[in-house]
A and B are shown apart, each in its own frame.
Chain A
Amino acid sequence: EAGVVQSPRYKIIEKKQPVAFWCNPISGHNTLYWYLQNLGQGPELLIRYENEEAVDDSQLPKDRFSAERLKGVDSTLKIQPAELGDSAVYLCASSPTAGADTQYFGPGTRLTVL
């Protein structure tokens, strides 16, 4: 069974540029999460989807961050414009049902903003 797929794995951009990350969850998983992981810290939830609905986006900085999961399968996270402080690893995870304790993480996208 394929795991959570994320792309790109690495991205280097200049500040004020836009950037997008893509995630394909495990087949059949209804719940999808985007996390931000700063160096030396644990993952912090940005947004959680149940199918195509964003059920928790309270930690998403909506002035510059946006996300979508149009058909309830894969998802895109966008930052526009990027700032220096956005340099981090962006992790995507999925779980089979809402509230499931077992989340399966992708390898993450490491973003560097210069």
Chain B
Amino acid sequence: GQQLNQSPQSMFIQEGEDVSMNCTSSSIFNTWLWYKQDPGEGPVLLIALYKAGELTSNGRLTAQFGITRKDSFLNISASIPSDVGIYFCAGQNRDAGKSTFGDGTTLTVKP
């Protein structure tokens, strides 16, 4: 089946630093999604990308849909302590009606 590889697996950064993480797939997706999961909660959608090459921002978060449609990137600028959590990418093909998730990047922000 489809597999998503997220990297890095974990990151430890200082407050105020920028963060970059990415997700690659062996298959093409029509939609890329980025979620954040806090401890004890379900994932919450941050950004959705629908077109190859698309660059979308949500506050300090910016995500890009790779040209090959097999990858996506998420950047967080000027990190703050509340950015701590696990970030998941997910690929979706509308015909399939379901999302395939990566295994997440765990972000720790030191004040």
Contact = CB atoms under 8 A, between A and B. Distances in A.
Interface string B28-54: 000101000000111111001010000
DSSP class of A's interface residues: helix, strand, loop or mixed?
loop
Given A102-B45, A107-B41, A44 B101 contact: yes
B19 to A, nearest CB: 19
Nearest to A108: B42
Nearest to A55: B97
Interface residues of A, number: 24
Interface size class of B (residues with CB under 8 A): 20 to 34
Contact of B97 (A4, A93, A98, A107): A98
Contacts of B104: 40-42
Interface of A: 4, 31, 33, 40-45, 48, 55-56, 91, 93, 98-99, 101-108
A4 B43 CA distance: 12
A9 B56 CA distance: 34
B98 A45 contact: yes
B83 interface: no
Contacts of B45: 102-104
Nearest to A44: B101
B88 interface: yes
Given A101-B99, A103-B99, A105-B43, 19 more contacts: A40-B103, A41-B104, A42-B4, A42-B103, A42-B104, A43-B101, A44-B101, A48-B98, A55-B97, A91-B43, A98-B97, A99-B95, A99-B97, A101-B50, A101-B92, A105-B42, A107-B42, A108-B41, A108-B42
